[in-house]
A and B are shown apart, each in its own frame.
Chain A
């Protein structure tokens, strides 16, 4: 069953806060991981691996660079879980 976007966003907020120390309250769908949230490329890998484990999806290496915003990541994970 596909995950709901709201659940994925809530989970992602927790992961980004844990990995990169960014307060969950500042994490919104239209924020860019690198430009707005200052998540560097290596922290992004940690976020992706944590998201894979939490949501039970696969996010291939060549997809990671496509996930520019939090919304991109939510959409990808929701689709991958369907």
Chain B
């Protein structure tokens, strides 16, 4: 008979975030797209976002977020056996961003791979990390969401130029003596694949057909809004149910930071009580796709340190259309060090 391993319960041990230093207010964007600061705030809640410097890469941002997560957990890369990178903007098809990252972080022997689940990528990765630990496959997993969306956004597109931004967030997931990560509720609505696209293909671009430009993101706002609010509110309630947690027991709600209007309407649909603190990192960070949930978690814990150890509902959703969500216990206070 085949011998199998048995793991332990899992939890998020720490979270780290990295944002580029360049702050880009709406005023810097509005002229190119004939818009106004007021219009952007009203439609999206975004006041400013961060753009990476020209030489600042997906890997640079991911590395910084990972180093902060490791330091906050009081662990080193030697403790990490698995690395999952969620991204759609790493500009190499192969080898993966994850293998480049483990080489930089100093443990080139860890299991490492990338996943493409767009803005849901982090929550997909977190669900996998938890299951790897529960099954005994892994002990400590770094899950990173990182994007340099400015490389794939048309700065003149009136529908997207003010939305997307750059950044990285990482969590370290490890063993626990109690369940710290609830079951993942995930799935797709692939009939709506056209609602968010990153087009054209590399092949079409290489062949240089007339009118074929560098690939950029486009989206159909109304379709995405409807799906995000109403289908994702249902998915969020399923994740709560699967974890045996009621909405009243939550301390925080950290959805993908796509649009404040989506976040607020979704919370209303789910009948979130006022005591639940709702992440609105999008106001100052824009939409950073796979990075948005861990970045919002990191920002929320900075502003509300009392939330360490509290219960949060996470949900990511994006191009595919795909989604994933789970209830988690937020990480404990960082291990005291010089910079923590």
Interface string of A13-49 (1 = CB under 8 A from B): 0000000000000000000000000001110111011
Contact B221 A42 (CB under 8 A): yes
Q: Say yes or no for A66: interface residue by CB 8 A criterion.
A: no
Q: Say yes or no for B308: interface residue by CB 8 A criterion.
A: no
Contact B261 A42 (CB under 8 A): yes
Which of B191-244 touch A at CB < 8 Å?
A: 221-223, 225-226, 229-230
Contact B43 A40 (CB under 8 A): yes
Which of B234-280 touch A at CB < 8 Å?
A: 259, 261, 265
Most chain B CB inside 10 Å of its own CB: which residue of A42, A46, A61, A64: A42
Contacting residue for B223 out of A44, A49, A61, CB 8 A: A61
B225 to chain A, nearest CB (A): 5
A contact residues, range? 10 to 19
With A40-B42, A40-B43, A42-B43 as contacts: A61 and B226 at CB distance below 8 Å: yes
Measured between alpha carbons, how far is A48 from B229 in the docked complex, in Å? 13
With A40-B42, A42-B43, A42-B261 as contacts: A49 and B226 at CB distance below 8 Å: yes
A41: B residues at CB distance < 8 A: 221-222, 225
Contact A44 B43 (CB under 8 A): no
Main secondary structure of the interface of A (DSSP, over half): helix
A46: B residues at CB distance < 8 A: 229, 265
A73 to chain B, nearest CB (A): 15
Contact B225 A45 (CB under 8 A): yes
Closest to A48 in B: B226
B222: A residues at CB distance < 8 A: 41-42, 44-45, 61, 64-65
Contact B261 A49 (CB under 8 A): no
A65: B residues at CB distance < 8 A: 222
B292 to chain A, nearest CB (A): 19
Interface residues of B (CB under 8 A from A): 42-43, 221-223, 225-226, 229-230, 259, 261, 265
Interface residues of A (CB under 8 A from B): 40-42, 44-46, 48-49, 61, 64-65
Q: A41-B225, A46-B229, A61-B222 are in contact. List 5 more A-B contacts (CB 8 A).
A: A40-B43, A42-B43, A42-B222, A46-B265, A49-B226
